[in-house]
Amino acid sequence: MSTRLAELLGSEAEAAQWKNARVHRLVIWDRLDPNAALDLVEQAVDEQDPAILADLGQVWSRRFGADPDLPDVLFLTAWLGSEHLVAEDGGRTGTGVIPLAALYAYELSYWKRS
């Protein structure tokens, strides 16, 4: 996924910068040991774990085998606290609030960063 992360973000440098920022956030906010935080972020990137990966501007596509009643894609537009996001689904139901855990039925497919 590191190569995939670089593809999504535009370069290896962008991917490294994003991973370093996530590690820093875990060290500061969650008081994790820097090495443990790095291991957690790398594992999350490899497994596409939305608890670490979810960020604004991302498009998540429904995983093969996930509930077909779920929207095909979700575009993340805002955070509501640390456990909920505002997401657009491309018109099927419009904009709504989803729990972060709902993203486990999806995989990260596109990331628009400003």
Range of the domain at 31: 2-47
pLDDT of residue 112: 82
The answer to the question of residue 84 being in a domain is: yes
How many Cα atoms are found within 13 Å in the side-chain-facing hemisphere of 80? Answer: 10
Do 105 and 81 share a domain, yes or no? yes
The answer to the question of residue 99 being in a domain is: yes
Do 73 and 100 share a domain, yes or no? yes
Tell me the pTM: 0.85
The answer to the question of residue 67 being in a domain is: yes
CATH number at residue 84: 2.30.30
Structural domains counted in the chain? 2
pLDDT of residue 95: 84
The answer to the question of residue 53 being in a domain is: no
Do 40 and 84 share a domain, yes or no? no
The answer to the question of residue 36 being in a domain is: yes
pLDDT digits (tens, 9 = 90+) for 47-70: 989 999 999 999 999 999 999 999
Do 29 and 73 share a domain, yes or no? no
pLDDT of residue 114: 61
pLDDT of residue 28: 95
| Residue among 43, 41, 108, 49 nearest 76 (CA) | 108
The answer to the question of residue 13 being in a domain is: yes
The count of other CB atoms within 10 Å of the CB of residue 82 is: 9
Locate 89 and state its tokens: 């689904």
Q: Where are the alpha helices (DSSP H) in the chain?
A: 2-9, 12-29, 34-47, 50-53
Do 36 and 64 share a domain, yes or no? no
Q: What is the residue-level pLDDT of the chain in tens, covering all 114 positions?
A: 568 899 999 999 999 999 999 999 999 998 999 999 999 999 999 998 999 999 999 999 999 999 999 999 999 999 998 899 999 887 666 788 999 999 999 999 999 876
Do 67 and 105 share a domain, yes or no? yes
- The CA distance from 40 to 19, in Å, is 10
pLDDT of residue 89: 83
- The CA distance from 48 to 71, in Å, is 19
